[in-house]
Amino acid sequence: MSQPILMTVDDDPAVSRSVARDLRRRYGQDYRVVRAGSGADALDALREIKLRGDAVAAILADYRMPHMDGISFLEQAMDLFPHARRALLTAYADTDAAIQAINVVDVDHYLLKPWDPPEEKLYPVVDALVDAWRAAGDRPVEETKIVGHRWSAPSYQVRDFLARNSVPYRWYSVDEPEAARLLEAADATAEEIPVLVTPDGTVLRKPSGEEIANAVGLSTRPAEEFYDLIVVGGGPAGLGAAVYGASEGLRTVLVERKATGGQAGQSSRIENYLGFPDGVSGAQLTDRARRQAQKFGAEVLTTRDVVGLEARGSARVIKFGDGTELSAHAVVLATGVSYRALEADGCAELTGRGVYYGSAATEAGECTGQHVYIVGGANSAGQAAVFFSRYASEVTILVRGESLRASMSHYLIEQLDQIENVHVRTHTTVVGVHGEDHLEKLTLCDQHGARETVAASHLFVFIGAAPRTEWLGDDVIRDRHGFVCTGPDLVVEGRRPPGWPLDRDPHHLESSIPGVFVAGDVRSQSVKRVASAVGEGAMAVTLVHRYLEQQ
């Protein structure tokens, strides 16, 4: 196969030559640069490239072109080369259109013209495009097949697990003819759903998370018995610690119970994260961070439930639910928080069958034309409302307080105000959840005790922040809410925490066990934002180095 192609499309000959020149200067040894003067000419060229069997790594298209603008062209180009990465060339006045393209047409980046110097404004973007293309390749996506029931909680859990771990899959409802054919070929029955069939033909019936992880190629077992650093939790704080730990030469392993990303990984769009002016989805941010950690040599283990932590001399030991252990010189706890259970009659029975915790993006298609309800008033709830408003006929946010302003970012409140099918009901709680095999109705209660029953097929819950730190035991000091205390909070009236063995105060992010550091939402008094969690993950690694130097 010949060199992969970088295509540039612009109706202005001078701009077209300039783009091609700059691309050839940087990428000419590894890529072939092809330029076209219109969307129609570019589509013809892409069809010829397709016939020859060549690969297209990235396409850069001008937004303002006669007859066919850049967005329309890129939509059609995606049909020919769905794995090619896409960027829009635009003037400053067209920035809004570029952001719309990113949100609606799945464009990867936009470039403002002029981009001089290219070393600062062009090449970093193209580097990101080709790196992403190399990671996915231009090969057919091998899909895992799932046969299940739409309103089955185990079926939902399988889909959610694969989606959050970026494993491509195809879903078949058990009542579809194709599902029946697939079950017959797998020698399985409808009573055994969910049934999962991997690309190599392996059949799993009612699989556990670990069985799925092993079947689709996710790592579940550590390669070594001892590490410099164990990171527990794969949210932004944990990923930040893994990236900085591995990049600075520490033998690092990240241990995650379900999927990297945590609550942030479920966010449909994070728009106030530094460096992403057009926003980034939690899944995209998580995928990039995970690949970055692995690039530096960090191991990432999934479906490992950590149930204990112990200091044994200079080693710090974590215990898994299956009875095995893993040791390291230091540990970073970045387990984040979980959404609190909705205390409403019937809620537990319908969880996974219309009631979901977090932004279950796998359910978006099923919400088309439906009235979706969201419980919660923080950013995660607002981001979910924006996301589901594209599918649902109506989205109602239910808030216990008098407004969103106490817990939601200003930019997000303003954004919600502009979406016609999103509504906010204040002073409202859910007290009843009803349905036979799936959610059908909700009972709502206002501040005066008046109740109302409404039809509903989907309820997404974003309430509270439970740290789930019971497994840490008494040696790790926590506040009354269960968040882990660190650094200065452990020194009371000049006295160090009970049992503290060292002749120094705990470092800023250090827990009551020396060498065990805490980052992100699970830390007492932390700022519950993605950027601060990443920063604490990086800072924890700096303190790990300081701790190791003092040993």
> Does the pLDDT value for residue 311 go beyond 60?
yes
Question: Average per-residue pLDDT in the chain?
Answer: 90
Domain boundary among 461, 488, 513: 461
Where in the sequence is the domain holding 187, given as residue range(s)?
144-215
Percent of the chain whose predicted confidence (pLDDT) is above 70: 96
Domain-embedded: residue 255? yes
The pLDDT assigned to 93 comes to 58
- Final residue of a structural domain among 136, 166, 189: 136
Helix (H, G, I), strand (E, B) or coil at 240: helix
Start-to-end CA distance of the chain, whole Å, equals: 55
Mean predicted confidence (pLDDT) in 163-171? 86
The CA distances from residue 94 to 90, 98, 530, in Å, are 6, 6, 29
Looking up residue 244, the CATH number of its domain turns out to be 3.50.50.60
- Domain assignment present for 27: yes
Q: What are the tokens at 161? A: 């697990």
pLDDT digits (tens, 9 = 90+) for 126-156: 998 998 888 776 555 567 999 999 899 999 9
Least confident piece of the model among 166-170, 337-341, 412-416, 544-548: 166-170
Q: Residue 106 to residues 71, 103, 281, 502: CA-CA distances in angstroms? A: 10, 6, 11, 53
75 occurs within a structural domain: yes
- Based on the fold, state whether residues 273 and 316 are members of the same structural domain: yes
Residue 220 lies in a domain: no
Give a yes or no: residue 165 inside a domain: yes
**Which pLDDT score, from 0 to 100, does residue 94 have?**
62
Same-domain check for residues 457 and 470: no
| In a shared domain, residues 188 and 250 | no
- Triad 349, 153, 168: Cα angle to 5°: 160
**What is the predicted pLDDT for the residue at 137?**
62
Whether 389 is in a domain gets the answer yes
What's the residue count for the chain? 551
The count of domains in the chain is: 4
Domain assignment of residue 221, yes or no:
no
Which tens digit of pLDDT belongs to each residue from 97-128? Answer: 666 656 555 677 878 877 778 888 889 889 98
* Predicted pLDDT of residue 98: 61
Task: Look at the block and give the residue holding tokens 């062009």.
Answer: 122
User: Can you give the pLDDT at residue 74?
Assistant: 87
The burial class, CB within 10 Å (0-12 / 13-18 / 19+), for 369 is exposed
Residue written as tokens 């180095």? 545
- Say if residue 452 is in the same domain as residue 473: no
Residue 164 CB: number of other CB atoms within 10 A? 23
Q: What is the DSSP letter of 481?
A: T
Helix, strand, coil shares, percent, the chain, to 5 = 35, 25, 40
* 391 and 312 share one domain: no
Model confidence at 39: pLDDT above 60: yes
Cα–Cα distance, 146 to 496 (Å, whole number): 54
Q: Is-contact 497 488, C-beta < 8 A?
A: no
- Return the closest-CA partner of residue 26 out of 120, 136, 137, 134: 120
Contacting residues for 47 by C-beta, under 8 A, at least 6 apart:
80
Task: Tell whether 387 and 456 lie within a shared domain.
Answer: yes
Within this chain, do residues 334 and 471 fall inside the same structural domain, yes or no?
yes
Instruction: Please report, for the domain that includes residue 126, its CATH number.
Output: 3.40.50.2300
Angle at 439 between CA 437 and CA 443, to 5 degrees: 135
DSSP string, 351-391: BTTTEEES--GGGTGGGTTSEEEEE--SHHHHHHHHHHTTT
Q: Are residues 517 and 492 in the same domain?
A: yes
Q: Does 385 lie in the same domain as 419?
A: yes
Residues 6+ apart with CB under 8 A from 127: none
Residues 61-98 pLDDT 10s: 988 888 888 888 988 888 888 889 998 888 765 666 66
User: pLDDT by residue (tens digit) across 457-505?
Assistant: 999 999 987 899 999 989 999 999 999 999 999 999 889 999 999 999 9
CA 299 → CA 221, 287, 292, 335, distances in Å?
10, 14, 11, 17
Query: Is the pTM for the entire model greater than 0.85?
Result: no
Whole-number pLDDT of residue 143: 77
Same domain? For 250 and 167 the reply is no
Q: Quick check: helix, strand or coil at residue 9?
A: strand
Confidence class of residue 223 from pLDDT cuts 50, 70 and 90?
A: very high
Identify the domain boundary among 461, 482, 514: 461
Same domain, yes or no, for 453 and 494?
Answer: no
pLDDT one-digit tens code per residue, 315-362: 999 999 999 999 999 999 999 999 899 999 999 999 999 999 987 777
User: Does one domain contain both 333 and 360?
Assistant: no
Residues 163/361, Cβ–Cβ less than 8 Å? yes
CATH number, domain with residue 186:
3.40.30.10
